Structure 1
Amino acid sequence: MNVPVTLFDHARDQLRNLCQVAGFADEDEAPATVLRELLGAAGRRPLTAPPVWLSDVADDATPVEFSLAFDASGERAVRILGETIPENPGPAANIEAAKRFLTHMAQRYAVNLDRFRAVEDLFLTERPQGKFALWFSLILRPGRVPALKVYFNPLVRGDQAARGLVAEALRRLGLRDAYDTVERYALCRGAADKFSFFALDLDDGPLSRVKLYVSHDSGDSSTVERAATAVDGVDPLALREFLTLAGGGTGPFAGRPLVSSYSFVEADSGRPGNYSLYLPVRDYVPDDEVARAQALAHLERAGVPAAELDRAIGAMTSRPLSEGVGLVAHLSLRLGRFGSGTTVYLSSEAYGVTPSRARAAAAL
């Protein structure tokens, strides 16, 4: 009798393959262990059954997405973005499951929850609005303890409350002046610019960050070039080059929005140390073959060999890239004194592959 493949089985194999690309030892079981706990009950469900919750982490409702960070220093990191799904999911039940996962991580890895507790009452309401309330990012590097980041939803109390919510959270975290900086450089186009994530590094290091993410509906290169000038020493023209090579042009990007993010540490008060630009490349290419080519155009300019990206893609799937779109979901460019580099975000496609735009058109 064949044992059905579960969501965890599928994602674990992808993660192991991706960790090999990043130089992890074959016997390192820490990535698979944290992935199992992160997925929760959803990970135990067979892939033959539909997803129990329509997670917004990925287009096909898979509650996990992987990425490979190519640091300018030459280091590599594997990242897991995920949502913890319980047996009987719902807005409140999902929050409770996420908090149980966070408790387990804190006990295992001595994660500091002080900053999480300082703001959790703002974002974790009894009746959360929006597509999520609490997501996690796990940053994995060979030979190191996994690092944990939490993502809150600034829209959890509705669009109108988001700016006040973010401002109060920053005040509680000792970053009162950070809001004014973001408003001046990134929230410049009225309702077209809005907060999308509020994230916290959960560690005690001097570079433990608060990260603010702003989405730019129909933004173009000038939108993000202006946003990047909030960070000292960042060359805005690097963003234009990134969009030209990786995004096929300078915009406007009228599909899924470009996203800016700022990294703040308490010692710097209101001045961010890093700026990142997130490009949802899957909305602007006909298929993953083109997405790969555009990613390579940027990575090769950055000194990353083509073979590394191809190995990462091969770790996720063996399907022809021309048959689908969305495996290469996002590309991001990080600039600033906390570290620069490029990250490629790869969809698990556990529940389905989005057909390429040519195949979709042919089916009409």
Structure 2
Amino acid sequence: MGKATLSLADDISGLTSELCRAVGLSHSTNAAEEYADLVREMLGPGGDRPIGQPPAWPSDVADDHTPVEFSLAVDRAGRPAVRLLLETLGEGTSIEANVCAAQELLPRLAERYGFSLAAFDAVADLFLPKHPQGRFAWWWSVVLRLGLPPAFKIYFNPEVRGRAVAGELVEAGLDRLGFGGAYPNLRRRLRPGDELDRYSFFSIDLHTQPDPRVKVYLSHHDGDLAQLLRTAGAARQVEEEQIREFTAIAGGHRGRFTGRPLISSLSFLAGDTDRASGFSVYLPVRDYAEDDEVALARAHALLAGHGLDRALLDRALTVLARRPLNEGVGLIPHLSLRTGRPHTGLTVYLSAESYAVTPPRPESLAS
């Protein structure tokens, strides 16, 4: 089947099963097929559209509007996980249609995998208004690990009712889920106004445990290491030196990030009253590297610095890289570091590039 007639669902589900095999997550053919079928189902009706046609919905998940972004996460023990950030595509071409399709899917997944909807029910009315604003309202994360059932997370858009009330939604969401005391500590670490440090995502884990994790993500426009460390102070057990080293290597030893913003997240677990348990930083390396060869070299350096096997990433790229690395930028869009609880590790994000490839960036712009 040629690319002109290959559907988005066929493309992404095939890559998913191949990627899981490449990094050792598919212990059987059945597991690989299960993952592929799950992704096909989660893409929704819009997944049937051929990728030879322009995307019907301009999803903001990836630069070329592919509604999926892969990532390879490796913890300190070297155990890999394949993750997908995914937007369900509805029958129409609107945020409302996508939300409707996701809402229809949610109870089926909950019944099949046995997770609770209590956290979702507690905050859904905050983040799913009748007329959502912004570029999205509901994204999913699917985490695939060896020997475990898929794990799910929902990402909500704090600016779905407008940027001016994003903080109020985050505060209300944290309060409803038992973390209201942490919001003042977070808020005072941000720069004044609502332009530089913006709430990007509010996420909830869909787990079988009674107390799922909650995460708050922030985009730090025109940010630097100092702002990252200031925000990190809203969490416990943050390893500042690791954040310094990660930012220097992943960002090419720059001071201020004036392109796509640095992103941080705070992870809230049961018992967190005034501060979060974990802190992560996400660096959009595609804006600060000439091409994907440079981005890969930085990812290799980070993995080596943490004593992790870079061969896992190389095997993943044999599946996803459909062109020479020096002929584009964005196949590796983000690099991230997790510190604190529940676990630490590195993540390399990987694009499917189902629709388009971003040309290499001139060295003068990347630096």
TM-score range, shorter chain: over 0.9
After the TM superposition, which of the residue ranges 224-233 and 82-91 deviates more from structure 2? 224-233
Q: Following TM superposition, by how much is the alpha carbon of 1:14 offset from its aligned partner in structure 2, in angstroms?
A: 1.6
Letter in 2 for 1:78: V
One-letter identity of the residue aligned with 1:160:
A
Residue 82 of structure 2 aligns to which amino acid in structure 1? V
* 1:87 partnered with 2:91: yes
Counterpart AA for 1:188: R
How far does the alpha carbon of each residue in 1:287-315 deviate from its partner, in whole angstroms, 9 at most, with x for none?
A: 10111011111111111233222111112
Q: Residues 204-215 of structure 1 correspond to what in structure 2 (within 5 A)?
A: 204-205=208-209, 208-215=212-219
2:121 is equivalent to residue 120 of structure 1 = no
The residue type equivalent to 2:220 in the other structure is: H
Q: Secondary structure at the match of 1:357?
A: coil
CA contact (8 A) 2:13 2:37 kept: no
Who is 1:334 aligned against? 338
The number of equivalent residue pairs is: 360
Describe the superposition over 1:296-345 as per-residue Cα deviations: whole angstroms up to 9, x where unpaired.
11111111233222111112023100000000011110000310000011
Q: More displaced, 71-80 or 325-334?
A: 71-80
Amino acid in the other structure paired with 1:140: L
Structure 2, unmatched stretches of 5+, are none
Deviates more, 1:272-281 or 1:43-52: 43-52
Residues 264 and 270, structure 1, Cα contact 8 Å, conserved in 2: no
Using the TM superposition, give the Cα deviation of residue 207 of structure 1 relative to its aligned residue in structure 2, in angstroms. Answer: 6.1
Q: CA deviation at 1:231?
A: 2.4
Correspondence 1:46 to 2:50: yes
* Structure 1 residue 254 corresponds to structure 2 residue 255: no
Instruction: Work out whether residues 327 and 348 of structure 1, in 8 Å CA contact, stay in contact via their aligned partners in 2.
Output: yes
Structure 2 distance, partners of 1:245, 1:357, is: 18
Alignment-mate amino acid for residue 18 of structure 1: L
What TM-score, normalized by structure 1, do the two folds share? 0.95
Matches within 5 A, 1:153-232: 153-185=157-189, 187-190=190-193, 191-205=195-209, 208-232=212-236
Stretches of 4+ moved more than 4 A in 1?
A: none
Is the partner of 1:100 in helix, strand or coil? helix
* Aligned equivalent of 1:63: 67
> Could you tell me how far apart the structure 2 residues matched to 1:205 and 1:111 are?
8
Instruction: Kindly indicate whether residue 276 of structure 2 is the aligned counterpart of residue 275 of structure 1.
Output: no
What is the Cα deviation at residue 60 of structure 1?
Answer: 0.4
CA contact (8 A) 2:205 2:213 kept: yes
Give the Cα–Cα distance (whole angstroms) in 2 for the partners of residues 91 and 165 of structure 1.
Answer: 19
Name the CA distance, whole Å, in 1 between partners of 2:311 and 2:147: 23
Q: CA RMSD in A?
A: 1.8
Instruction: Give the equivalent residue in structure 1 for 2:27.
Output: 25
1:69 and 1:79 in contact (8 A); partners too: yes
Cα distance in 2, alignment partners of residues 200 and 357 from structure 1: 35
Contact 2:215-2:266 at 8 Å conserved across structures: yes
- 1:237 matches 2:238: no
- Higher mean alpha-carbon deviation, 316-325 vs 53-62, is at 316-325
Given that residues 215 and 267 in structure 2 are in contact (C-alpha distance below 8 angstroms), is that contact kept between their aligned partners in structure 1? yes
Gaps of 5+ in 1: none
Percentage identity across aligned positions?
A: 49
Deviation at residue 204 of structure 1 after TM alignment: 3.5
Deviations along 1:85-104, one digit per CA (max 9) or x if unpaired, are 01212121111111112122
Indicate how the Cα distance of structure 1 residues 228 and 168 shifts in structure 2: closer, same or farther if over 3 A, else same: same
Is residue 119–residue 212 contact of structure 2 (8 Å, CA) maintained in 1? no
SS of 1:129's partner is coil
Secondary structure of the residue aligned to 1:342 is: strand
TM-score, normalising length from structure 2? Answer: 0.94
Partner SS, residue 53 of structure 2: coil
Equivalent position of 2:133 in the other structure? 129
Choose from 314, 322, 325 the match for 1:321: 325
